[in-house]
Amino acid sequence: METLEQKILAHLPEPKMPADLGNRIMARVERSRLRALYLRLALSSAGCVAGFAYLGAEWRALWSAASQLPIFGFLRLAFSDPDIMFANFQEYFLGLIESTPFGLIALGFGLTFCLICAVEFLSAARRARHAPLIIHPVIS
Amino acid sequence: MPQFIHSRIIIIALATLATLAILAGVFQLGVSVGERKSRHFTRWFENYDRNLMPPGSRRPGPNMPPGGMPMPMLPNAHGVFGKILSVSDNSLIIQGKDNVEQNVIITSSTAIRIDRGVGTIQDLKPETEVSVLGAPNEQGQIQARLIRLFNK
């Protein structure tokens, strides 16, 4: 016995799949994939450029600040007088935290992250342009 | 119960809570360290005359131009690394690498070390490079736990 859906569908023309539907789908997927890669590449490159521009503009001040960092003094004391460090661990720990240049560390990590991302996305974009996605037919 | 814990939503919720807890703890640590440092700076600034200026001298303030601008740098509260400017009976004035002078108090529990040996107050002379570890006190000074001299 036919269902209601089957009765309705019986009056509609038979759907025909376009001949190149698979290729068109893959082309669209490939384009959106490349677009996403280029966007990430642009963002990471912008981060790299901004970071290096800041370093270039402020390198004297950064170098001067880095060379005067008291954290090196604290680290040196840890090697020369570890017994005193352990005996006064609270003061040592607080001094170390006070003198840690978190801003410089964040700048360094951020710049390294942007650089690695830019290199990775650049190589991925080159691979995607030269070796597009291949559909492996489903064997049933 | 194991299925509850392994549920994806619960795992995400637990991970989010753990991340927020760690971030909050780190933020609180930063706040408390900053508070200690600014409290030491306030005491150091208020007692600058008494601690660092010669008796009877007028005070424009520490490293201030004639206009009286405030200093941009907060001195370290738990250590100073630089050269000795002057030595008295139980205190030193040390100029750090950031050009900020600090008064360091030597107590009975202060260890003075030179290279691999033990030193005395007599070994502390002006223009000597020292490294000091200590704790801030109410007068904006640093009570030294360790004074280390490195012979060059």
Nearest to B120 by CA among B96, B87, B94: B87
Q: Which of B31, B44, B74, B78 to mutate to test the interface with A (most CBs of A within 10 A)?
A: B78
Q: What are phi and psi of A16, to 5 degrees?
A: -115, 130
Per-residue pLDDT tens digits for A87-128: 999 999 999 988 888 888 888 898 999 999 888 888 888 887
Specify which residues B115 forms β-bridges with. none
The amino acid at B122: Q
* Residue B76 reports pLDDT greater than 60: yes
Q: Which of A75, A85, A86, A94 to mutate to test the interface with B (most CBs of B within 10 A)?
A: A94
How many alpha carbons lie under 13 Å from residue A130 in its C-beta half-sphere? 6
Portion 77-116 of A in contact with B at CB < 8 A: 77, 80-81, 84-85, 87-88, 91-92, 94-95, 97-99
How many alpha carbons lie under 13 Å from residue A137 in its C-beta half-sphere? 3
Kindly give, in sequence order, each residue whose CB lies less than 8 Å from that of residue B100, ignoring residues fewer than 6 positions away: B62, B63, B71, B73, B75
* The two structure tokens encoding residue A99: 């003198």
Domains of chain B: 1-152 (2.40.50.140)
Per-residue pLDDT tens digits for A4-15: 888 888 888 877
| Contact between B133 and A85 using a beta-carbon 8 Å cutoff | yes
* B78, B131, B150 ranked by CB distance to A94: nearest: B78
Instruction: Quote the minimal CA–CA distance from B33 to chain A in Å.
Output: 6
| Contact between A98 and B78 using a beta-carbon 8 Å cutoff | yes
- Say if CB B91 and CB B80 are below 8 A apart: no
| Contact between B78 and A85 using a beta-carbon 8 Å cutoff | no
Per-residue pLDDT tens digits for A70-86: 888 898 889 888 999 99
| Contact between B33 and A94 using a beta-carbon 8 Å cutoff | yes
Place of tokens 């959106």: A32
* Residue B141 reports pLDDT greater than 70: yes
The more confident residue out of A37 and A2 is A37
Confidence (pLDDT) at A134: 56
| Contact between B81 and A73 using a beta-carbon 8 Å cutoff | yes
| Contact between A95 and B79 using a beta-carbon 8 Å cutoff | yes
Q: Which of B81, B102, B112, B116 to mutate to test the interface with A (most CBs of A within 10 A)?
A: B81
Q: Does A65 touch chain B (CB under 8 A)?
A: no
Per-residue pLDDT tens digits for B15-58: 999 999 999 999 998 998 889 888 888 888 888 877 777 666 55
Instruction: Quote the minimal CA–CA distance from B146 to chain A in Å.
Output: 7
- C-beta neighbour count of B24 within 10 angstroms: 10
* Residue B6 reports pLDDT greater than 70: no
Nearest to A81 by CA among A71, A90, A70, A92: A92
* Residue B151 reports pLDDT greater than 60: yes
The more confident residue out of B124 and B72 is B124
Kindly give, in sequence order, each residue whose CB lies less than 8 Å from that of residue B36, ignoring residues fewer than 6 positions away: A94, A98, B77, B136
Confidence (pLDDT) at A132: 61
* A80, A81, A91 ranked by CB distance to B135: nearest: A91
Confidence (pLDDT) at B103: 92
| Contact between B78 and A73 using a beta-carbon 8 Å cutoff | no
Lowest average pLDDT, out of A40-54, A91-105, B62-76, B123-137, goes to B62-76
Instruction: Quote the minimal CA–CA distance from A107 to chain B in Å.
Output: 18
Lowest average pLDDT, out of A43-47, B55-59, B92-96, goes to B55-59
- Say if CB B117 and CB B150 are below 8 A apart: no
* The two structure tokens encoding residue A47: 């981060």
Confidence (pLDDT) at B1: 53
Reported ipTM: the value is: 0.75
